[in-house]
Structures are given as C-alpha cells and as structure tokens.
Amino acid sequence: MGFDIQTLPWRRPLVPDWNRRYDALWAQLANADQVSQTDAATLSVEACVLANQRLGPLEQIKINKLAARLWKVAASGTLRRVRIAIFGNATLSLFAAHLKGSALARGMLLDTVESDFGTVTAFAMGAAQSTIEGPLDAALLSLDATAFARAERLLDIVKDAEVREAAAERLRALAVGVRTRLGVPVIVATVPAQPEDAISSIEHALLGSPARLVAAVNDEVRRGAEAGDWLMWDAAALAGEIGLHSWFDPVGRHHAKTPFASELCPIAADHLCRVLAAMTGKSGRALVLDLDNTIWGGVVGDDGVDGIQLGNGSAVGEAFLAVQRLALELRRRGVVLAVCSKNNEDVARRPFQEHPDMLLRLKDIAVFQANWVDKATNLKAIADALKLGIDALVFVDDNPVERERVRQQWPLAIVPELGEEPAYFPRLIVASGAFEHLPLAAEDVLRAGDYQATVSRQVQRDAAKDYDTYLGSLQMRMTITPFDRIGRARITQLINKSNQFNLTTRRYNEHDVARLEGDPAFLAWQVRLSDTFADNGMIAVVIVHKEAAVRWRIDTWLMSCRVLERGVEQTIMKELVDLARSQGCEELWGEFLKTERNALVTDFYDRMTFKPVEPAASNGDKRYVLKVSEFALLKSFIEVSQSA
C-alpha cells in the first residue's frame, strides 16, 4: 500500500449507489424555498455523507454544485453555515467552488465572496469601497510570491534586509487592513516556494534571493498567528506534502492565473476547510480507540497479554507503538482519549496495567468501554459520558465493518479509513485533519486531565434502534462445510487459539482433526462468512458427537470474535437443529465449561433457548438440553449455503 494524499485516503471509498442517491437528493432540493425545516435536516446529513467520500472528479463537481444549492435552503439543519470573503492575487474562483463541496464533507455549509482580482491592496488600505454585502464569518488572504517580489542587487546586506522587511510589512498591512475593514478574523495563507526559484542549494543563504523573500513573508505569517493577530492556513506545508512540482502547474498559471494545479483543488480546499472546521468548533475533540489490531497487534482475549504484538523487537509492534505515541501527542493538545473495544473489560484493561511496552496507561483514558455491545451504542455512551456531541468523536478502528456500522448509525461522527497497514495508521489519522486546531490556550492543554475527573462510566445495553437494518445491509453469506483437508490447518489453529467465544475450550491437534473428517459418529463443521466488505474466512468451528440416534452432544462450539453480534451463532444453531430434526435426533445437549477467558459465552445456551439440566456446578460449568421439537426460530440475516 502506498500513500497518496491527493486521493484523500482517509475518506471512505465511494458507495456503489452514489449517483442514484445524489440524483435523489438533487431532485429534493430542486425547489429550495419549498424544503421544510425537518426535511432540510435530513437532506443536510445525506449531503454530508455523499460529500465525505473519495470522490472522482465528476462527483466532486456535483458535490460542489449541491453545496451551493444547499446554501440557499434557509434552514440548514445540522450544518454550520460559514461565509467567508476571499482575497487573492490569482484566480481563486475554482478553489472557491471546491471549498463549498469540501466544507460539506466536514459538516459545514460554506458560501464565498471573492474580491475583484487585483483590488486587495486598495481595499485593505481603505482606498476602495467594499463590494461585500451580508454577514461574514472570516476572510481568507491568499497571496503568491508575485505580490511581494522586488528584485534588487544580490549580496547587498542592507537591501536584503529592506526587501524582506518591506514584504513582511506589506503582508501585515494587508491582513490587518482586511480584518479592520471587515471586522472578522482573517486566515492568512503561507506562500509555497516556487521550484523555479531553487537555482542553487544556498538560496536561503543568498542575500537578495527570491527564496529569502518568500521565507520572510512566511515568517511574518507565523509571527502574526502566534500573536493572535490572525489565523494561519499553512498552504506551504501542504504544497510540501504533495510536492512542489505537482503543486505548481506552470501551464495553468500562464493560461488562467491559477495559483496551483487545478486538479489539486479537492485536497487544497479540504485542507483550508480543516481550519474553518477548527474555527467553528467542528474539529474532533475525542479520540476513540479500538484496541485489538488498532493499538496493539493481535487479540488480547485470545493471545493473552504476553502474546500481543507491541513495542520493541517486532516491526509490527513498533507500528502499533507509533499509534499510541500519536494518541499521547493528541492528548497533550487537549484531545480526550477513550477506548471502545469488544472485549471483557478486565481482559481489555490488562495490557494497560501489565504490558511493559504500553505507552498508553489507564490514567490516559477518560472513558473505557470494553464490552460486547454494538460499537455504535458504545460510541453514544462515550459521547454522553464526555458530554460531547457524537460529531466531536473520532472513531479509530481497524475493522471496516465496525467503521461502517458506526457511520450508518452516526453519519456525522468522524471515522477515518485506516487501510490495511498499521504503519500507516498514524499518518492517515493526522492527514484526515480530524484534529486540526487553532493556536492552543492554556485551558486546552489542561482539558484532557479535567475530563478524567468528571467522567462517570456508563454502559448502554439497549441495542441500537435499527441494528437489524444494518445487519440486513451487510448481505452476509455463510458457508458450512464438513471438515476437510483444505480447512484442516485453519481448523486446528482456531481450536487451539480461540479462548473467548469457546464453550468447552477442548484442544485437538491436527491429527485429531483429520480423524473427524468423514467420521459418521461426528458432525464436524467449518463455517465461513463473507459480507459486503470482506471475506472473513473461517470464523467458526462446531463439533457434534452423535452419541445416540436421538441424542447428540455439542462437543465444541467456538467462534472468532471478529463476527460477534451479527447473528452468526443463531444461524449456525438453526442449521444444526434443522439437520438434527431431519435425521431423527430428538435432543441436543450442550455444555459450558468455564475458563478464565470465556465469560463471554456464560449464557450462550440460554440465549440459544436451551434449558439447564441441573444447577451450575461449583466450578461454574453448566449443562443444557434442547428438545429439538421445541426450538424457537432465532432471527437471522445471513444467507446460508451448505455443502454436503
């Protein structure tokens, strides 16, 4: 996997029915003045969802138009309306059009007013009348090097200082002038250095060079931002990230006076919208972290504290350390940290307490939600505990299914894509701009600690209202196959590795597994699951001993925790019962053998409508029976195919 920031890789891929949904939305907005306030709220959210995807060039154009139309709908629902004036000495209209679409992706509705080309100075100095009508929230001042260029003799120390001072003064005068005349905060863009100015390696040490002039301007932008005179958009930093040769397009420059390559409008506009989002309080305030395979490698419930990959000694472990390092850096800036993990709470907490390489400790985590409840529900609990809106949460989870689940339930939560490679997780989180911020104040730096004290942990057990709809949308397909040679290695691995969703924790070696292939006294199933996102591969193993024709005993039932809460066990049980019934079996017996790690399935057979045959043994073991004829059908959203 590579990393190309131009594709906005932190955004979700385009949904397959994007164009259909777009057309539907566009039609509903056809008559702006007839949209009711309630409709506007719903339509706004849909617009955000469509905008916040990895758009192709044509989709981007459509979203820009949609945003412009949405602005005209007076009641904008949940979207924050922002209106900015744009001052520049190049053609910024195209950029402005993209700003509207990019703002939409970040939960804002943006309108822009551009100053006439070349009138910046006159306006700022009070010589020209303002042509800007209506309220404003901010102004952007985006100038390129030609606004400051003044060629003087090289190597003249006095001239060099004069020219640089004059450039800085000019920048300051323009920024302060705009601010004074409009009475709104000014965002000043830094100036990227032209590749054509890089004649030698010593440009910055060459008195009177163009590079020194640009540097002087940028220094002044930084100074003013630090002093609180204006806000700063670091266009130069973005140009550096992209590469100056891509950023500057001399053809477009000569042809249309565009300040940078026009195909970069989406990333450039998004980058500025980060600053607008921070200005209007739309940035992420809390980082909600999944645990397994997100901040450490492996599954702590299965691998144990000693078995997870973290830290020195392993390349993968180093990558996860980098994720934790980023979390701590964000915390330093006032971002609150929370955990949202499908785990037993004590198991999930253990690495924080015991693993020597963990950088994150329990004291760093304001809310710790480790349970088996749906993550969308847990996210709401975290938001409530922190007294934050759900759109202030940034949910970081390596599992695309969990991300999609959260997006469906909370379309305005910030959920960056993470890709397949943990080494890129920190880069994607940062590039997403979710944590863009303005100059920090002392209270920001203290914030993370404050939350710690006030948060009361709460768990919401009520299942999300439309969880069934979600499960349906996953289009899950299950394949049940008897044990065979191909599956043997993976079956053995699951039998010996699964600890949490494992009713009996009986371990069998590859030889044992091979003997079960084709043994008529046993029913031995390997179960695979795929959905719209991925082929999850083998996710469950069930071994049933046909002790007698009318009585079967479930010897082993285990599942991967990746597919919990999706109705997998209900579906397998239905298939098992159907088969038992057709073969004349009357009773299914099951047992729960308690271990340190399988608390998750304590009530498994109760949920499967089995009846306990005796009170639990003193060691916690429980035995159950199901009269096959009394089996009540369990709800399932999975299409099953059985192969002999």
Partner 1 sequence: MKLMDQSAILARLTEIVRTLFDEYDGPVDASLNAKAVKQWDSLANVQFMVLVEQAFKVRFTVSEITGLKNVGELMQVIQKKLGH
CB of 117 to partner 1, least distance (A): 11
Q: Are 508 and 524 in contact (CB under 8 A)?
A: no
3-state helix, strand and coil shares in percent for the chain, rounded to the nearest 5: 45, 20, 35
Residues 233-252 that bind partner 1 (CB under 8 A): 251-252
One residue of 75, 149, 256, 441 binding partner 1 per CB under 8 A: 256
Q: Which stretch binds partner 1 (CB under 8 A): 75-83, 90-98, 208-216, 379-387?
A: 90-98
Alpha carbon separation from 597 to 287, 303, 375, 496, 584 (Å, rounded):
28, 11, 21, 13, 35
d(CA 619, CA 452): 38
What is the closest distance, in whole angstroms, from the C-beta atom of residue 66 to partner 1 in the complex?
Answer: 11
Residue whose CB is less far from partner 1, 125 or 251: 251
587 with 575: CB under 8 angstroms? Answer: no
* Residue 91 engages partner 1 in binding (rule: CB under 8 A): yes
Smallest distance from partner 1 to CB 61, Å:
5
Length in residues, the chain: 644
Interactions with partner 1, residue window 55-74 (CB under 8 A): 57-58, 61-62, 65
CB of 81 to partner 1, least distance (A): 24
Contact range with partner 1 by CB under 8 A, out of 41-49, 163-171, 256-264, 631-639: 256-264
User: Does residue 94 touch partner 1 according to CB under 8 A?
Assistant: yes
511: its two tokens: 């030889």
Which one of the spans 53-61, 139-147, 347-355, 591-599 is the region binding partner 1 (CB under 8 A)?
A: 53-61
Among 112, 57, 68, 108, CA closest to 88: 112
Nearer to partner 1, 104 or 275 (CB): 104
- Cα–Cα dist 285/302, whole Å: 32
Q: Extract the runs of DSSP E, i.e. beta strands, from 293-423.
A: 336-342, 365-371, 393-396
**Calpha distance 113→116 (Å, rounded):** 10
Two structure tokens written together for 436 = 């863009």
Shortest Å, Cβ 59 to partner 1 = 9
Shortest reach from residue 262's CB to partner 1, in Å: 4
- Establish if 89 lies at the interface with partner 1 (CB under 8 A): no
Q: CB nearer to partner 1: give 92 or 348.
A: 92
| DSSP secondary structure of 576-630 | HHHHHHHTT--EEEEEE---SS-GGGTTHHHHTT-EESSPPPTTS-EEEEEEGGG
Name the residue nearer to partner 1 (CB basis): 264 or 480.
Answer: 264
Residue closer to partner 1, measured from CB, 245 or 255: 255
If the CB atoms of residues 255 and 457 are measured against partner 1, the closer one turns out to be: 255
d(CA 90, CA 147): 10
Count of residues interacting with partner 1 (CB under 8 A): 17
Q: Which residues bind partner 1 (CB under 8 A)?
A: 57-58, 61-62, 65, 91, 93-94, 97, 251-252, 254-256, 258, 262-263
